[in-house]
Amino acid sequence: MNMTLEQIKEKKWLLKLEEIDKNTTLAQADQITKKMSDLKEEIKEIHAMFEKMETQDQITVLKNIKPQTVALIQALILFSS
């Protein structure tokens, strides 16, 4: 199969784009992994503070947790396991 110079250039350009996309995706995955790790550490700190609270204060905190926070914690649990 003989390819024209234009076809070769186009093929090379497409392969370069694929490589850029792959590198971008890997970089984004690394950023997400680091952020999730940081959030996991923050949750550990919050949990430690929560454990030190009086029972009544714990109840108050639990009543004020937003649904988004619960969803984030659930996502972290899934990610961590």
Output the pTM of the full model. 0.53
Question: SS3 of 64, please?
Answer: coil
43's enclosing H/E stretch is: helix 5-52
* Residue 81: band (very low, low, confident or very high) from pLDDT cuts 50, 70, 90: low
9 alpha carbon, distance to own chain's centre: 36
pLDDT in tens, 3-49: 788 888 888 888 888 888 898 999 999 998 898 888 888 888 888 88
| Mean pLDDT (whole number) for 62-67 | 86
